[in-house]
């Protein structure tokens, strides 16, 4: 389903604001997310652009260039940011499924690495059902090779934002 670029921008801004909800229980997360959704849906595209561009100007440029769709994507066709959440870079060169395998293996072996990924995953798991049902928390995917370069494998798509939720994706044409 084709979507207007403002919806992609809303996803990015809502996702950034939702970081404030880390560590909350389900009820508090849901209540906080409802407020974020109301706030973000009321923002103009100009306001959204102001929230996006200070983070990294090439992202806003790319968001304005692409034609966007909301569709399901296989995690075998997508790659996460190289070093996402401060994971070891070698875990992030393949598909999202490959990255997940590395995380699961490390957890199984009782290994822990410094960084946001290991700090965030337990909290995400607690509210994953809410994340999966929020259109504004959908990952944003750009064409493969847009952000991920060698040594990463070129995938069909690069997850631009929302790397930690791995679900239905906003996608380009």
User: Model confidence over 75-94: pLDDT tens digits?
Assistant: 999 999 888 888 899 999 99
* Residue 36 main-chain phi, psi, to 5 deg: -65, -45
pLDDT tops 50 at residue 128 = yes
**Short-list 29, 5, 2, CA closest to 17:** 29
Work out the mean pLDDT of the chain and round it to a whole number.
87
Q: How far is the C-alpha of 68 from the C-alpha of 115, rounded, in Å?
A: 31
User: Which band of pLDDT confidence, cut at 50, 70 and 90, is reported for residue 162?
Assistant: low
Percent of the chain with pLDDT over 70: 93
pLDDT tops 90 at residue 37 = yes
Question: Is this prediction's pTM over 0.75?
Answer: yes
The mean per-residue pLDDT over the stretch 105-112 comes to 86
């Amino acid at each position: 389903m084709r979507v207007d670029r403002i919806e992609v921008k809303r996803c990015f801004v809502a996702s950034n604001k939702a970081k404030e909800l880390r560590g909350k229980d389900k009820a508090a997360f849901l209540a906080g997310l409802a407020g974020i959704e109301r706030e973000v849906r009321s923002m103009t595209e100009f306001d959204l652009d102001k929230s996006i561009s200070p983070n990294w100007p090439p992202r806003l440029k790319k968001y304005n260039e692409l034609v966007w769709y909301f569709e399901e994507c296989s995690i075998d066709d997508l790659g996460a940011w190289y070093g996402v959440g401060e994971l070891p870079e070698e875990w992030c060169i393949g598909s999202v499924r490959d990255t997940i395998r590395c995380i699961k293996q490390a957890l199984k072996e009782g290994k822990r690495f410094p960084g946001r990924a290991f700090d965030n995953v337990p909290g995400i798991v607690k509210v994953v059902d809410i994340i999966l049902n929020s259109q504004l928390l959908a990952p944003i995917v750009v064409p493969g090779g847009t952000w991920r370069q060698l040594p990463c494998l070129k995938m069909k798509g690069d997850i631009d934002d929302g790397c930690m939720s791995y679900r239905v994706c906003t996608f380009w044409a």
